[in-house]
Structure 1
Amino acid sequence: MEAVIFLVLYIPMASTMLKSAMDKPQAFSSFILFACLFSSTSALSDAEVSYIARRQLSALPEDGQLNLDIDKQVGINATFENQRLKRAYVALQALKRAVYSDPFNITGNWVGPHVCGYTRVFCAPALDDPNLNVVAGIDLNHDDIAGYLPVELGLLNDLALFHINSNRFCGIIPQALSKIVLMHEFDISNNRFVGPFPDVFLRWPAVKYIDIRFNDFEGEIPPEIFEKDIDALFLNDNRFTSTIPETIGKSVASIVTFANNKFKGCIPHSIGNMSNVNQLIFINNELSGCLPGEVGMLRNLTIFDVSMNSLTGTVPESFGGLESADVLDISHNKLSGVIPESVCKLTSLSILSFSHNYFSGEGSGCLRRDIEVEDGGNCLGSRPNQKSSEECEAEVKRAVDCSKDKCSKGSSTSKPPPAKEEEVILPPNMGSRYSSPPPPMFPGY
């Protein structure tokens, strides 16, 4: 059944083979590999992670190039159905050798030339030649496997789906993977991968789904990633520190998550151009400045969460345009003013959270009983569990004018950034609403 489901994914893709992406040389750094040691995941000991990292480092070619002399690498007297399956054999044997621990013995039957019979390996007719059977998918989700990704995986030219989420893989993403130009779904979430944002993603012309959350990637996000035709991009729970690129407005994605990183600076005004987006999650970062009024242009947006940041100013009246919003969470910021009546009356809302800010008023519609409203920790005198009058008066004195705010185009008014940033206190289980993986894009995966 799984193989049949996979064909539904694989066959409708591009009908002709795409040109091979160029593989650029890379100097691999042991520093990046041993950064695994600082991962918060405890499934592997530091000694085991160090051992796996050393294995990957020793196996990486200095120039990052693949050895394409496949016949010398096979090492057995075997007959393969076609040359592509022979290449797949080399790649899968390299992956098996890269495994440090396989408690469920998933790779136990990865022996011999009949790679289409390997557990969790899926074959399908080649896109450019239906008479050829090729390896089109690998799904090792939730198998508790520890190891690293070998460069030989770049030999899997026909691979469209690669899922290894919720395992104990470590190390970096090899540049050789840029050769897999038919990659459609790539999910390596909940592992211990490290290093900068993998730029191999930028060289996959067919990729639609990228999930790298719950790893230890760090540094900046390349602006080009938002210019690709990607449907879902999960960046949450890593160590990214960059600003959010203006190119986010060019994204055609339906889901983008930035949660639980250290993204800083403004939410770009170009966000209003994301006409396809239905989930935007910024929870628990270091974003500042005023909320862009352009968010209200996102008519298909169902979840907008900017909680646990350092945003200031008021809620733009334009947020009343979020006609599809189911969850609107702006809690745990430094916002003030009045929650617009148009926001309170959004008919699609089930959760409206603006707690732990400095709001002094809310529209009468916010008191409705058909939605969950969280308004504690503000300056709403008539409501329970509010800030003290001293705290509220102090906030009034440091007004922020959003028309002059560094993030604003002058579309709203509100109050001046505090001279000193206040610490945002995170409640228990922060981000739990979005911690678990969403339903897969394709049934069975």
Structure 2
Amino acid sequence: MGSVSSNVAILLIIFELYTTLLLLHNHLANADPIASKARETLEIIIGGGIGGGGDNPSDAPPPDDGPSCPPPVSPFTFESKRIEIVYPVIQRLKAKITCDPLGITKSWVGPDICNKYQGFRCATVPDYGVKALADVQFNGYNFSGPDLTLEGFIDELPDLSIFHGNSNKFAGNIPKKLSTIRYLFELDLSNNNFNGQFPYEVLGATKLTFLDLRFNSFSGAVPPQVFTLDLDVLFINNNNFVQRLPDNLGSLPVLFLTLANNKLTGPIPSSIGKASKTLDEVIFLNNQLTGCLPCEIGLLNKATVFDVSRNLLTGPIPWSFACLAKMEILNLAKNQFFGVVPDPICQLPNLESFDLSSNYFTGVGPECWKLIQRKVLDVTMNCIPGLPNQRSKAECDAFFCKPRSCSNQGSLTWVPCSSKYSQPATSTSPGGRAGISYKALKPHRL
């Protein structure tokens, strides 16, 4: 009975409350406008807006958007966050490659970039201590596409140290953000479709030790700042650069310098002697160089290759060349050199090829004669009496009828090394090692 009484009491209370609310509603409905407005305000506060739409919705408080959505979760698990960063960058490049004759990009699927993606290599990045994409090797892949550029690719690979992209169809601009890639040491853009002026963007990549721009269509001048970069290798051959060789040429601390097959003019600056501690191979062939050879070339005591063939150079060979003790390949062919070949040069201990053909030399000594017999020295098409395959007398007379001299005439007999020209042989490897720079004269990878 007690339970029934309680239930009845509760029902009575609810009925009474309902009656009170009904009376209140009717009162407010018949109230004056001020009370009506107050009711409307109450509804707005309680309901969050004007029911049925109002004339001034801007008065309403902003809707509650609820809790913000979390960022989308990647469907992959990557080896590190540094790898995860580059995944979308690689996929964007893949979308730009419309021709992939070797099917390289078929492997660019999934999260395992370090082990599964052809052309990509990983290493532990020093400042993070985790695996990161460090090396891109696209040599010979022949990628192409109408919008295939490096922008948005290598400049978005923050841990990149090496990019080799020889023999593809990359074009467009070189990324301006190269300077932000803090570990970029090697950049090979050779044999692509780049054109326009020298890519000044590379000057910001101050960690570079290897720069290869050969076999493109760059034109204009090479900025002098290039010759102050701390490079080991500079290959800019087979472009359309037009300028005089810079006076600060010798400031470049490279081992291998290849400027061949451009339109470079003027004389070889005497500053080249400043590169004596580093310069191993230098190739100036097939340009438009003029003037006489500076005697400072004889200071290049580490050089194994010196090639100035197919230019417009003239004068006698400086006697300082007898100090090039490590020289293996010496090529002065197809110029306008003249005089007697200094015999001490033919005593250089490592000389494997000495080409003086197609000049106007008038004599050789006994040591040089030995090299001719051994087919090390080529003096064909000169003006040397008694030797076969020389220019005609008329051609030689026509050349020498014009006065010829060098502004550095007094230094041509200067010998900066010991008076004993012959030095012990210092051959490096069987068959010699010289000629790495000559490989750069072919468009494909070294």
For the superposition of Structure 1 and Structure 2, which TM-score range results when normalised by the shorter chain? 0.7 to 0.9
Q: CA deviation at 1:212?
A: 1.4
Q: 1:228 to 1:256 in 2, by over 3 A?
A: same
Counterpart for residue 123 of structure 1: 122
Q: Secondary structure at the match of 2:291?
A: strand
Counterpart AA for 1:266: P
Q: Work out which of the two has the higher radius of gyration on C-alpha atoms and give 1 or 2.
A: 2
The alignment-based identity, stated in percent, is 39
Counterpart for residue 271 of structure 2: 270
Q: Secondary structure at the match of 2:222?
A: coil
Distance in structure 2 (CA, Å) of the matches to 1:75 and 1:100? 29
What stretches of structure 1 of length at least 5 have no aligned partner? 1-70, 414-430, 441-445
| Residues 38-53 of structure 1 mapped to structure 2, 5 A cutoff | none
Q: 1:75 to 1:325 in 2, by over 3 A?
A: farther
Q: 1:337·1:361 contact (CA, 8 Å) conserved in 2?
A: yes
| Residues 189-204 of structure 1 mapped to structure 2, 5 A cutoff | 189-204=190-205
Q: Secondary structure at the match of 1:246?
A: coil
Counterpart for residue 360 of structure 1: 362
Q: CA deviation at 1:111?
A: 3.0
Counterpart for residue 346 of structure 2: 344
Q: CA deviation at 1:336?
A: 0.8
* Equivalent of 1:137 in 118, 135, 138: 135
Counterpart AA for 1:236: N
Q: 1:235 to 1:135 in 2, by over 3 A?
A: same
Q: CA deviation at 1:80?
A: 4.5
* Equivalent of 2:387 in 383, 390, 393: 383
Q: CA deviation at 1:296?
A: 0.6
Q: CA deviation at 1:392?
A: 1.1
Counterpart for residue 165 of structure 1: 166
How many residue pairs get aligned? The number is: 347
Q: Secondary structure at the match of 2:250?
A: helix
Q: Secondary structure at the match of 1:146?
A: coil
Q: CA deviation at 1:143?
A: 1.4
| Residues 3-402 of structure 1 mapped to structure 2, 5 A cutoff | 78=76, 80-116=78-114, 117-130=116-129, 132-147=130-145, 148-153=148-153, 154-275=155-276, 276-368=278-370, 369-402=373-406
Q: Secondary structure at the match of 1:129?
A: coil
Distance in structure 2 (CA, Å) of the matches to 1:177 and 1:398? 53
Distance in structure 2 (CA, Å) of the matches to 1:113 and 1:241? 47
Distance in structure 2 (CA, Å) of the matches to 1:362 and 1:438? 39
Q: CA deviation at 1:105?
A: 1.5
Distance in structure 1 (CA, Å) of the matches to 2:180 and 2:409? 43
Distance in structure 2 (CA, Å) of the matches to 1:237 and 1:385? 31
Q: Secondary structure at the match of 2:399?
A: helix
Counterpart for residue 62 of structure 2: none
Instruction: Compute the RMSD of aligned alpha carbons.
Output: 2.4
Q: Secondary structure at the match of 1:337?
A: strand
Q: 1:224·1:247 contact (CA, 8 Å) conserved in 2?
A: no
Q: 1:434 to 1:89 in 2, by over 3 A?
A: closer
Counterpart AA for 1:92: I
Q: Secondary structure at the match of 1:365?
A: helix
Q: 1:188 to 1:75 in 2, by over 3 A?
A: farther
Counterpart AA for 2:361: F
Distance in structure 1 (CA, Å) of the matches to 2:306 and 2:379? 17
Counterpart AA for 1:109: S
Q: 1:402·1:411 contact (CA, 8 Å) conserved in 2?
A: no
Q: 1:98·1:150 contact (CA, 8 Å) conserved in 2?
A: no
Q: 2:122·2:131 contact (CA, 8 Å) conserved in 1?
A: yes
Q: CA deviation at 1:225?
A: 1.5
Q: Secondary structure at the match of 1:382?
A: coil
Distance in structure 2 (CA, Å) of the matches to 1:128 and 1:149? 29
User: Deviation string for 1:375-396 (max 9, x for gaps)?
Assistant: 1111011111111111111222
Q: 1:187·1:211 contact (CA, 8 Å) conserved in 2?
A: yes
Counterpart AA for 1:388: S
Counterpart for residue 426 of structure 2: none
What stretches of structure 2 of length at least 5 have no aligned partner? 1-69, 414-436
Counterpart AA for 2:376: E
Q: 1:182·1:204 contact (CA, 8 Å) conserved in 2?
A: no
Q: 1:201 to 1:75 in 2, by over 3 A?
A: farther
Q: 1:356 to 1:433 in 2, by over 3 A?
A: farther
- TM-score normalised by L of structure 2: 0.73
Q: CA deviation at 1:267?
A: 0.7
User: Deviation string for 1:344-390 (max 9, x for gaps)?
Assistant: 22121111111111111122211214452111111011111111111
